[in-house]
Amino acid sequence: MTAGIAFIGLISCSPIITDPLIITDNSVGSKVGEASYRLNIFGLPTEKDANVGVAQAAKNGGITKIATVDTRVNVKDQSYTTVVTGE
């Protein structure tokens, strides 16, 4: 219970949270692709934002060899972004 309260307190101080998901042996390269969505009033992504995964982020950045995949959560505006780097 105390840990949960402390976690919520820390989140409220930091509006953006990042979380690395995948790191491969491919070189990071110079390309970065992102795919984002925001939650609607019911806490769900809108239909137009449904395709925001790794494949879409790589496509948006013109990446064919993925090196890293991260997620970025902006608590204040309730947006979620998948960030892909590679070549």
Q: Is the pLDDT of residue 30 over 60?
A: yes
DSSP for 41-68? TTSSB-GGG---SHHHHHHHHT-SSEEE
Number of neighbours of residue 81 by Cβ within 10 angstroms: 18
What pLDDT, in 10s, does the model give residues 2-25? 554 444 544 455 576 766 666 778
Average pLDDT over residues 53-77: 90
What pLDDT, in 10s, does the model give residues 44-59? 666 565 567 889 999 9
Q: pLDDT exceeding 70 applies to what percent of the chain?
A: 62
